[in-house]
Structure 1
């Protein structure tokens, strides 16, 4: 019979999951080894049993189920996934927690220094410890909110093979995993070696195959058809459209005047358009394939000296798929003699022009060219012809003929460690090690247009050759319906693009730990650990020419070239002192403390440097057997990472639902009108500026070489109850409080808007906050070549969160079966973010909005997981119940600007997401001592995800009209797993 699984245990001396075979407990969050150590900080333990019962494919799926962890980039993120998966403890950002493997760092992914969970070797993981509260004094910077430590099996012997496959009830999303682990002792038991090989694969799940996501739905109106204004046929800006009868439209109140769509027959521009439905092309589950190998060995050279090593290799490929590329309000020059521009379109281009003035600020319309000039220009085939004329206009045209935009991210990681350890005395151990790791991520983007090739192809004056004389150039038809762009045209205007991202980490560590051999009074000896560490980080982003200069149509802006690194030298120490033991009301009273000094040298001009000092104090008071009180207080820092130091300022995309300058609002508000014009909006387009396309707006920001370490104060206090009258029962309750000052942050899009437009009647065109916003001079919007919203990086931010963690585990023998119950509950009181002292101190717990997705997906107030298992002789039946509390639209996001908000209310049914409950059922059949069969049904009742439309959150987490990282968008699915052991 298999052991009863444990889901959320608390790491104490009595917790079997925390014990090594030599009975020396290594608690995550301390460097001191001691057989009687009890953690003063709460540690949630997820065992290998739970991972097996869940049928998880990668580590990110394991962590996503733990309350208190906010879903970050993972397998459910499509548009915004860079080929890696991250963890976000407490919702303060994946860059403020640390991921470890056997208590040591491994090579990170990207400029942020964050570990890619796709590389963790799950097959050999014995348990996963998630520690709440700063662990900076123990592990160094990056651990402000805590650490996640993947602990692998020790001294494994035998053969373990696992094969599993998963299929959704709708027949898609097939997943396959197989692992082979072989280990054994050698040299008469002096050594042990183990190697684990693994392969995983997952197929995509397209949003077009789920009812909720077939069509884009507006979060503001609830209407289907909301998508992207980059459509097919093309949308043409700056024209005088014709009505349905072919007559010029002169009434400025007609909707979308000047922003028109080519009629389906390609003959003319008409004063309405249909948004492009991009949903069916996008995916709820990213395709994934991984090969991985993990090996480790140890050998006793003498009775007191042991050599050990660890090696890890992983090659994984993540593919994202989004809707076809196109001209996204790209401003181009088109000759009036373009061979694909018919007379009606040409006459409309010639006839539309606007000048400010008229009645009540409504523009008047004047011809751009006379009819005679227009007719002569139609036949001018060369720029040297005096009749040659071009029009400069933004064009939006979805190039469905070129296929989807695919990004294939292939990450190759290797990381190895070698070291010696042994005993200095009977009570003091030493450990010296060195390690090196390197990660290379190569992104190959296909299906993207090359913007300058588009311009070259549009300057043609005959259908066969381009004015540039480039023999490869094929003139482009953007005026026809779908299919009018031929394969030859599509080949010329599109190209593959490659970006290479590399990181490396070199480490050297030395540690003395143990006890002093003496204690205070008759208490146990004082434990200690002292050490020194050297780390060298390097990272680079090396884009090709297309990506670096932002030439990819729909690529979100340039990918800057970045190269940087820094070194850090540290010394640290910890002490644990038992003060009283075996006394009335003081069964055990222990005090612990630690400190770390870090010296950073940045490889940059001027060789900037900074240092940091962190410390902690904590303690455990076991009042009587079975009842403990514990607490921990820490002053911590987080040093800026390479991206925060070295990334140049560049343009990218952010999320914005409402633009104050869009629509009719500035027409009758002279002050608002002046602000919009000062930001670059053409005066003649006031009243016709459109809302951000698909809820996305341009923004500009980057690194800042002047940022310094951010500071944090964290503390926890809690209790552990293991009552003697209820054997098998353990309860923990802990309060945590984390505050970050001088936080390295950027304003949210709502902050940038509010800084200028918080008071529509008093917004000043001369204010720095207003002038920092930069609009497209051709459309007045935040699209095309505009820089958009400012998001500068600084040390001006503040972060704050606090909450409660409740854990319960219970096991008992019912006679006919063994019962195991393990539960974990999190309640978050607050999660506040303020980018600068003048920005909004924004609360995001229990709310959803584009601004409240700044670090991850939704963070509800209540979350819980409860696993109940009945173990019979040959069969185990286990049910996992996960609860997600209800959430509502962020109040500031729901309030219009005129009322001090930053957007507008969503469609009434979309303003609240009800509480959700998911159930997973697993049956484990112990066919023999060597063979086990598991069958799991995830989302047992096929609970559908909430419908909120496509602008309710940030693009990465609000996709397919829902939040697929928080709620299950795949539906009921079945996993079959076979384990063979020898």
Structure 2
């Protein structure tokens, strides 16, 4: 049997099939259940049929392709992925939208309050509802930009078994997903139970396996480059006027830096995933007035990030001049008396006699014994890549009862409890303390301190000079655990009051809710020590916090006019919520909206909401840590501070040593240290959102429906940190002075003056959370669906388009001079994930007797580099042209109980535009492209076999 021709796309809730007579519906964004009401807020609905046509194996794969949504951390984010995937509505941040399962909050993943949407059982979904424009009055905080409600199948009977196999044309990235759903009625139809089990296995795709990802390309020069943590070792001696030198190919001397390390091949475009899923739900009518229900879910996932080999990332290590691996020629250069190519400039560190004597002094008690602090950049390619394995476990149970209070009012009460845990285990890193212990060796076979089985390391040799024994000593592994728990209780009544102003009664919902949220992050001692885990970026200090909130809420839907001339329907909607947070006190949210149908085929709808969001545990309590991000320029780099006295004074005030002036460099890998953390003095955010739109279902064109909606969201007192560009601008563009706090808050490497290096000694740029931010976005959504019978086949056309007018961020809302940055249509280190001005998806489906053919067209508008920084980059990398993707799917209904779905995704094998590696933020600009926005995997094939009985 062919699929119904009116199912298979993204549609507005207002255009979905009407409920059966007498059947109550629950529309996402409201607690009111009534068969005759539709809400004023726009809701995009992704049906189960559309998910099947897309061959989506996770919810994130589908959601990030919805126009108007901005890709968040997902399967294509490698460096910056903590083992979870998120959704980002309207580009306002994943922390400003709420994720629900059947209208109930899912337990978050950890400190930041975000829900890992990888846990959603895709095969069990009836639909995904995406409501944007604020929903705080209905669901409480976190719903500033809206909610995503995953609705599972209800009253399922029978058995549904499916298996999906997917692979790229290159033969990698193999993905398997298998699901089985079993359900049935019991108790003479008074009850129903559903149980589902699923398994997913997705393999990694390496950047080195795609032509555009083989080499790390500089966005500034266009040349193949890489990191200054390289092989052979890159060496400087802090406190001298030396530049950055590298061990020569023959290993006998130090020469100008010539061989950056290409880290791309070891990084990945797609993270691997293995997941086990269990889900069950049941309901039972005890009598005509009471029904009890329960729901439970358990998910265990293992995913990994794979990052290029670790090393000593410009750590300064005390090195004996009698180190057994130190070549004589390099020793002479370090001592500084070799004036042709020395590291010490005009003043030698040691005389030749002193240097020669130190070369033979292997005992620290020997008066001739000398050590030098050497800044090493040496990649441990012998270790293989750095592997972070994340094992996440989540369970949530929900139980309650509902029934009829009176004939026209229903009641419901439920409680839910969930826990999540994310255990991270790292390997391939090495530790700083053990590395220093190993470097202090003066004998090639034993260390001066032989504790822990110390093995001497050769940092001057070529690839292979670091032996497996050294790796066993250095790479001891480290781990950490993040977890959260959410308890919630809710009770409400909904229905109608039995009378109204018009022929339709007034509908109401009144209720109360309590939530208790706690979260923690715990790590081993290695992970907690800044800079101790080599190549690990930020430390992971222990954090723990909790808060609770008590709320009352109410909704009112008042049909004002019904069936009148020029007012076939006129309805007013009101809602409000009072929330008492244990952290920020009492907050108020409310909404007012309505709809007007001058004629039956046209409805005008709109609404205004006042929404608040209290800070989450991470924003309140996270301990400041230093990590890494991308950047492109440093005003203190190069010769500029040698000719500008004020600039020199600023660089010195930021912690650069005087000897580094003139030799400060920008990291060849395009990275910078940044320090982030929580702020216990944060207050709640406040947002004003409004929408206005229309629903058009003309009687003269059966099968046609259209919705158009304008949204406007302004967020004040936003909990934000400044962008990297904002930090530089506040110092170097606005009152550049060595006494300006905006300048002195930038802290440089005390050994080299660079803005990169050991995170334990180089805080870098301060990205401190405050309530000073302001965020604004507005735009238009357009949805159109048309279905008709062509005689030989059914035709189904669907279109969902978004035009984002503005998406602005201001770091300081109270400062008129603060830049009001707009990231729509732009990419840079100041704009995270790409948000095009215009995007759409269009699906055309032909349904024959036993076969459906469906073509999906995805369009992404052209984008360009943010104008403020465009001149920094090579011209060919300053634009990404518009992109068109086509996916072709065929559904073969072999029998009434067996169907085969085959799809070609990225039909024309479009490759992403190469823009280099340091033109955007680390998480989203990876492998020279933006793989979360543009398809970096290439053409791939997917086949699903499904059996139902």
Q: In structure 2, the residue corresponding to 1:378 is in which secondary structure? A: helix
- CA shift, 1:221, in A, is 1.3
Q: Which structure 2 residues correspond to residues 317-396 of structure 1 after superposition, within 5 A? A: 317-351=302-336, 365-396=346-377
Contact 1:336 1:377 in 2 (8 A): yes
**1:497-546 Cα distance to aligned partner (Å, 9 max, x none):** 111001110001101100000111x3210000010000010100001111
- Gapped runs of 5+ residues in structure 1? 242-251, 355-361, 603-608, 896-903
Provide the C-alpha distance between the structure 2 equivalents of 1:352 and 1:542, rounded to a whole number of angstroms.
50
Q: In structure 1, the residue corresponding to 2:506 is in which secondary structure? A: strand
Is 1:962 matched up with 2:929?
A: yes
Counterpart of 1:919?
Answer: 886
Is 1:2 matched up with 2:7?
A: no
- CA shift, 1:401, in A, is 0.9
Contact 2:337 2:351 in 1 (8 A): no
Q: Which structure 2 residues correspond to residues 449-468 of structure 1 after superposition, within 5 A? A: 449-468=430-449
Provide the C-alpha distance between the structure 1 equivalents of 2:149 and 2:622, rounded to a whole number of angstroms.
29
Of the three residues 725, 728, 746, the one matched with 1:773 is 746
Contact 2:228 2:667 in 1 (8 A): no
Contact 2:917 2:927 in 1 (8 A): yes
Counterpart of 1:824?
Answer: 800
- CA shift, 1:86, in A, is 0.3
Counterpart of 1:209?
Answer: 209
Of the three residues 433, 436, 451, the one matched with 2:414 is 433
Counterpart of 2:681?
Answer: 706
Counterpart of 1:814?
Answer: 790
Provide the C-alpha distance between the structure 1 equivalents of 2:616 and 2:284, rounded to a whole number of angstroms.
37
**How many residues are matched?**
937
- CA shift, 1:80, in A, is 0.7
Of the three residues 543, 546, 560, the one matched with 2:523 is 543
Contact 1:59 1:117 in 2 (8 A): yes
Q: Which runs of 4+ in 1 moved over 4 A?
A: 18-22
Q: In structure 1, the residue corresponding to 2:575 is in which secondary structure? A: strand
Q: In structure 2, the residue corresponding to 1:484 is in which secondary structure? A: coil
**1:287-326 Cα distance to aligned partner (Å, 9 max, x none):** 1110001110000011110000000000011111011100
Provide the C-alpha distance between the structure 1 equivalents of 2:175 and 2:248, rounded to a whole number of angstroms.
44
Contact 2:452 2:473 in 1 (8 A): no
Contact 1:239 1:353 in 2 (8 A): no
Is 1:24 matched up with 2:24?
A: yes
- Normalized against structure 2, the TM-score is what? 0.97
- CA shift, 1:655, in A, is 2.0
Q: In structure 2, the residue corresponding to 1:348 is in which secondary structure? A: helix
Contact 1:353 1:366 in 2 (8 A): no
Indicate the RMSD between aligned Cα atoms, in angstroms: 1.5
Provide the C-alpha distance between the structure 2 equivalents of 1:51 and 1:664, rounded to a whole number of angstroms.
57
Contact 1:239 1:260 in 2 (8 A): no
Q: In structure 1, the residue corresponding to 2:70 is in which secondary structure? A: coil
Counterpart of 2:173?
Answer: 173
Q: Which structure 2 residues correspond to residues 57-456 of structure 1 after superposition, within 5 A? A: 57-224=57-224, 226-238=225-237, 258-351=243-336, 365-456=346-437
Contact 1:107 1:415 in 2 (8 A): yes
**1:49-69 Cα distance to aligned partner (Å, 9 max, x none):** 000011111010010120000
Provide the C-alpha distance between the structure 1 equivalents of 2:849 and 2:392, rounded to a whole number of angstroms.
44
Provide the C-alpha distance between the structure 2 equivalents of 1:420 and 1:775, rounded to a whole number of angstroms.
60
**1:543-572 Cα distance to aligned partner (Å, 9 max, x none):** 111111131111012112101110010000
**1:781-830 Cα distance to aligned partner (Å, 9 max, x none):** 11223100011111000000000000000000111111001110000000
Provide the C-alpha distance between the structure 2 equivalents of 1:669 and 1:43, rounded to a whole number of angstroms.
57
- Gapped runs of 5+ residues in structure 2? none
Is 1:38 matched up with 2:38?
A: yes
Contact 1:863 1:884 in 2 (8 A): yes
Contact 1:508 1:534 in 2 (8 A): yes
- CA shift, 1:365, in A, is 2.1
Q: In structure 1, the residue corresponding to 2:164 is in which secondary structure? A: strand
Provide the C-alpha distance between the structure 1 equivalents of 2:164 and 2:624, rounded to a whole number of angstroms.
46
Is 1:490 matched up with 2:471?
A: yes
Q: In structure 2, the residue corresponding to 1:490 is in which secondary structure? A: helix
**1:608-650 Cα distance to aligned partner (Å, 9 max, x none):** x412001000001011011000001000101100000110112
Provide the C-alpha distance between the structure 2 equivalents of 1:834 and 1:494, rounded to a whole number of angstroms.
43
Provide the C-alpha distance between the structure 2 equivalents of 1:353 and 1:179, rounded to a whole number of angstroms.
70
Of the three residues 813, 816, 822, the one matched with 1:843 is 822
Contact 1:747 1:792 in 2 (8 A): yes
Is 1:793 matched up with 2:778?
A: no
Q: Which structure 2 residues correspond to residues 630-709 of structure 1 after superposition, within 5 A? A: 630-709=605-684
- CA shift, 1:576, in A, is 0.2
Q: In structure 1, the residue corresponding to 2:453 is in which secondary structure? A: coil
Shift in alpha-carbon separation, 1:753–1:429, aligned structure 2, 3 A? same
- CA shift, 1:382, in A, is 2.0
- CA shift, 1:832, in A, is 0.4
Provide the C-alpha distance between the structure 2 equivalents of 1:23 and 1:958, rounded to a whole number of angstroms.
49
Provide the C-alpha distance between the structure 2 equivalents of 1:73 and 1:736, rounded to a whole number of angstroms.
24
Contact 1:504 1:537 in 2 (8 A): yes
Q: Which structure 2 residues correspond to residues 756-767 of structure 1 after superposition, within 5 A? A: 756-758=731-733, 763-767=736-740
Is 1:614 matched up with 2:589?
A: yes
Shift in alpha-carbon separation, 1:734–1:352, aligned structure 2, 3 A? farther
- CA shift, 1:719, in A, is 0.3
Provide the C-alpha distance between the structure 1 equivalents of 2:668 and 2:595, rounded to a whole number of angstroms.
55
Counterpart of 2:533?
Answer: 552
- CA shift, 1:387, in A, is 1.1
Is 1:732 matched up with 2:701?
A: no
Provide the C-alpha distance between the structure 2 equivalents of 1:557 and 1:40, rounded to a whole number of angstroms.
45
Provide the C-alpha distance between the structure 2 equivalents of 1:327 and 1:98, rounded to a whole number of angstroms.
41
Shift in alpha-carbon separation, 1:374–1:240, aligned structure 2, 3 A? farther
Q: In structure 2, the residue corresponding to 1:645 is in which secondary structure? A: helix
Contact 2:238 2:752 in 1 (8 A): no
Of the three residues 905, 910, 913, the one matched with 1:943 is 910
**1:446-493 Cα distance to aligned partner (Å, 9 max, x none):** 101101100111111111222224151111110100000111111111
- CA shift, 1:21, in A, is 9.2
Provide the C-alpha distance between the structure 2 equivalents of 1:644 and 1:459, rounded to a whole number of angstroms.
41
Shift in alpha-carbon separation, 1:666–1:745, aligned structure 2, 3 A? same
Provide the C-alpha distance between the structure 2 equivalents of 1:668 and 1:523, rounded to a whole number of angstroms.
82
Is 1:515 matched up with 2:496?
A: yes
Counterpart of 1:833?
Answer: 809
Provide the C-alpha distance between the structure 1 equivalents of 2:268 and 2:338, rounded to a whole number of angstroms.
42
Is 1:803 matched up with 2:785?
A: no
**1:327-355 Cα distance to aligned partner (Å, 9 max, x none):** 0011111111111112111111110799x
- CA shift, 1:268, in A, is 1.2
Segment drifting more, 367-376 vs 265-274 = 265-274
Provide the C-alpha distance between the structure 2 equivalents of 1:600 and 1:138, rounded to a whole number of angstroms.
17
Shift in alpha-carbon separation, 1:675–1:28, aligned structure 2, 3 A? same
Provide the C-alpha distance between the structure 2 equivalents of 1:312 and 1:64, rounded to a whole number of angstroms.
24
Provide the C-alpha distance between the structure 2 equivalents of 1:525 and 1:519, rounded to a whole number of angstroms.
4
- CA shift, 1:684, in A, is 1.6
Shift in alpha-carbon separation, 1:19–1:503, aligned structure 2, 3 A? farther
**1:116-145 Cα distance to aligned partner (Å, 9 max, x none):** 011001111001110111100100100000
Provide the C-alpha distance between the structure 1 equivalents of 2:750 and 2:329, rounded to a whole number of angstroms.
26
Contact 2:575 2:591 in 1 (8 A): yes
Is 1:567 matched up with 2:538?
A: no
- CA shift, 1:19, in A, is 4.3
- CA shift, 1:258, in A, is 2.2
